[in-house]
Copies of this chain bind each other. A is one copy, B any other.
Amino acid sequence: MTSRAVDRRATAASEELSTVDGLAQLSFLIHGTLERRAAERELSIIQTRLLGVLRDRKPTMNELAKVLMLDKSSISGLVDRAERRDLVVRVPSDADRRAVLVALTDRGRALVSDVAARFGADVSSLLDRLPASDRATLSRLVSRLLVAHAADRGIDLFAPTTTG
């Protein structure tokens, strides 16, 4: 039964959570952790993702829409609100005068680094509950899952990034 997965409670049926339920609960725990850390800096998850994408790219609005899987009109609003807070700037594209590039400001970069650092510390301290050997094992299994899943979609996680 995976039914408990949609709320966050444990089954008392067995002394160990089912793998599916456990993984689901852990996922919500970690997602909620990021949500909370972002909220402490007045960021929503989507604003945080926006800033995260911009850390190593200066995409057009259109490219942002594809990466974040949102309509271009949603990106307009998202970038508007981030720009109002001086977290990002719109820059006209040289190559195509219709296009607009979006870049992180220093303030935006500092903010996303801060959130990422505190979130990372949260996950680290969660992992610290396990002995080092278990951590290594967990890391290996999780990597395998991600690699297998990525392979299903024809993506090689470890290929040099071709900066979409």
A interface with B by C-beta (< 8 Å): 1-3, 5-7, 9-10, 12, 15-20, 22-31, 34, 48-49, 51-53, 55, 112-113, 115-117, 119-121, 123-124, 126-127, 129-130, 134-146, 148-150, 157-161
- For A27, give its contact among B7, B31, B113 (CB under 8 Å): B31
Q: Does more than half of chain A's interface fall in helix, strand or loop, or is it mixed?
A: helix
Is there contact, CB below 8 Å, between A142 and B19?
yes
In the assembled complex, 17 residue pairs joining A and B whose CB atoms fall closer than 8 Å, in A order, are A2-B121, A5-B34, A6-B51, A6-B115, A15-B158, A18-B139, A19-B127, A20-B127, A22-B139, A23-B30, A23-B138, A23-B142, A26-B146, A27-B29, A27-B30, A130-B148, A137-B137
Of residues A5, A18, A53, which shows the largest number of chain B Cβ atoms within 10 Å of its Cβ?
A5
List the B side residues contacting A137 at CB < 8 Å. 137, 141
**B157 with A144: CB separation less than 8 A:** no
